[in-house]
């Protein structure tokens, strides 16, 4: 059976740099940082006191206040970003076969803020005070479930959980569902709201987070010699994927075509990547093979680029092992330098950012790259945005547990 061509027709974000696509794009391309001091809780005793918080988020514009109280913040983010993406797509619920429309949304941690609050209630006031909505508010699949209920979509529906690769896995699953002709429309992406005391404490104990508390905006510094860990972020990023036939039939605008993806596992360590980057290498090669292109065709890479001591060199080695002498000529950037690490939502917002770059013919900078690590010696679009027209790109996501995902996207060409 011939694979169904799949395009992106809608985008929606809830991010540390805004909840509007144009506002977000202007912020990232100007090199603005979304990182600051944590405002949501007291950080006394926690080594890392910085994060990329979502600011000015008002769920009541989209969700009834009573309903919102029964939702974890991650679920609110997912619903709002999905509504924004749906609106952006121009879809009309009256003209959709809801049995051929589905939702796959990933999250790495899910409703951890709800878990913290309800556990405190249990200890302080007893089991009778635990909310009857506790479980639905906590479980990761409910992001997808609530979005489906909002739109009445009755096609494939579930959540994906693979740490920082969660939303990239969700997007590839949604792609496969359309390619297999099991659905015409898929809402997909990721949501995360894990800036909580226990999350910060756990990541700090693992020595994963930056502690550059005196300079929050300069703390996320992928590929820099002086990096000291990632900065935790939050938000949601949602794409509307649609079969090309469906999109053309209704005259939809098309942002890009998603043509392939690769998934591998390092099978190496609970947090550290394979030092030689071989798992990442295979994910990228599989994505290219799946998308019908070779290394000579890839023109841009949105890197995983977390600013961890082990991750950045491993990804660099993986890229060099594939592209050889061309590796240094491919512009690579890290969106995490600007908005921190959105964990399970990172892959989706980075794919959206790459698509916006494709549309604009401009690459956002990797900020704070002041003293390049000698082991990270590629072109990371350091500190200044760059005009660059391209057609084919990769977006990389690698998660704790050794999960590797690479997504291949390209400019839509109706002649292909």
pLDDT digits (tens, 9 = 90+) for 21-67: 999 999 999 999 999 999 999 999 999 999 999 998 999 999 999 99
- Mind listing the pLDDT tens digit for each residue in 300-324? 999 999 999 999 999 999 999 999 9
pTM check: above 0.85:
yes
Residue 87 binned pLDDT confidence (cut-offs 50, 70, 90): very high
> Can you tell me the mean pLDDT for 378-385?
98
Q: Are 33 and 220 in contact (CB under 8 A)?
A: yes
Residue 416 binned pLDDT confidence (cut-offs 50, 70, 90): low
- List Cβ neighbours of 307 (8 Å cut-off, separation of 6 or more): 210, 220, 221, 222, 223, 224, 227, 228, 229, 230, 231, 334, 336, 337
Q: Are 275 and 400 in contact (CB under 8 A)?
A: no
Q: Rounded to 10 degrees, what is the CA torsion of 48, 106, 74, 344?
A: 10
Question: What is the CATH number that goes with domain 260-410?
Answer: 3.40.47.10
| 159 alpha-carbon distance from chain centroid | 14
pLDDT > 90: what percent of the chain?
99
The Cα–Cα gap between 9 and 23 comes to 19
Averaged confidence pLDDT in the chain: 97
> Can you tell me the mean pLDDT for 165-171?
98
pLDDT at 56: 87
Q: Which helix (H) or strand (E) holds 134?
A: helix 134-138
> Can you tell me the mean pLDDT for 170-182?
98
> Can you tell me the mean pLDDT for 242-267?
98
CATH 3.40.47.10 placement within the chain: 7-249, 260-410
Q: Residue 407 phi/psi, 5° resolution?
A: -115, 130
Q: Which residues partner with 196 through β-bridges? A: none
Domain 7-249 fold is Peroxisomal Thiolase; Chain A, domain 1 (3.40.47)
> Is 1 a residue whose pLDDT tops 90?
no
> Can you tell me the mean pLDDT for 265-291?
97
DSSP codes of every residue in 311-366: HHHHHHHHHHHHHGGGGGGS-EE-THHHH-B-GGGHHHHHHHHHHHHHHHTEE--B
Tokens representing residue 154 in the block: 């009755």
Catalytic residues: 164, 304, 341
pLDDT > 70: what percent of the chain?
100
Residue 414 binned pLDDT confidence (cut-offs 50, 70, 90): confident
| Count of all residues that appear for the chain in the document | 416
How does strand 101-106 pair with strand 185-192? parallel
């Amino acid at each position: 059976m011939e694979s169904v061509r799949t395009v992106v027709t809608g985008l929606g974000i809830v991010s540390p740099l805004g909840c509007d696509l144009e506002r977000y794009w202007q912020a990232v391309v100007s090199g603005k940082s979304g990182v600051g001091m944590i405002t949501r809780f007291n950080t006394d005793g926690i080594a890392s006191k910085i994060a990329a918080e979502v600011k000015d988020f008002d769920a009541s514009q989209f969700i009834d206040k009573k309903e919102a109280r029964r939702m974890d913040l991650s679920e609110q983010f997912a619903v709002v970003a999905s509504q924004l993406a749906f609106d952006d797509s121009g879809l009309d619920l009256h003209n959709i076969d809801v049995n051929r429309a589905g939702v796959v949304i990933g999250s790495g941690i899910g409703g951890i803020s709800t878990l913290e609050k309800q556990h405190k209630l249990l200890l302080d006031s007893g089991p009778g005070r635990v909310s009857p909505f506790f479980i639905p508010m906590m479980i990761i699949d409910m992001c997808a479930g609530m979005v489906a209920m909002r739109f009445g979509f009755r096609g494939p529906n579930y959540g994906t959980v693979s740490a920082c690769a969660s939303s990239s896995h969700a997007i590839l699953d949604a792609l496969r569902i359309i390619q297999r002709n099991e659905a015409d429309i898929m809402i997909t992406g990721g949501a995360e709201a894990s800036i909580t005391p226990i999350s910060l404490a756990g990541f700090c104990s693992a020595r994963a987070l930056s502690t550059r508390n005196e300079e929050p905006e300069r703390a996320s510094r992928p590929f820099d010699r002086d990096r000291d860990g990632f900065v935790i972020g939050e938000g949601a990023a949602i794409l509307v994927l649609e079969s090309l036939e469906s999109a053309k039939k209704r005259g939809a605008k098309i942002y890009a075509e998603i043509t392939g993806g690769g998934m591998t596992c390092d099978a190496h360590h609970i947090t550290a990547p394979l030092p030689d980057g071989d798992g990442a290498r295979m994910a990228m090669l599989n994505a290219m093979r799946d998308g019908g292109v070779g290394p000579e065709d890839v023109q841009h890479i949105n890197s995983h680029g977390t600013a961890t001591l082990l991750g950045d060199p491993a990804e660099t080695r993986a890229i060099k092992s594939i592209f050889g002498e061309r590796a240094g000529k491919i512009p690579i950037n890290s969106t995490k330098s600007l908005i921190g690490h959105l964990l399970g939502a990172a892959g989706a917002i980075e794919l959206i950012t790459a698509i916006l770059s494709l549309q604009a013919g401009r690459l956002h900078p990797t900020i704070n790259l002041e003293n390049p690590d000698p082991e990270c010696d590629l072109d990371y679009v350091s500190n200044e945005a760059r005009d660059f027209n391209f057609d084919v790109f990769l977006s990389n996501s690698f998660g704790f547990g050794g999960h590797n995902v690479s997504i291949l996207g390209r400019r839509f060409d109706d002649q292909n």
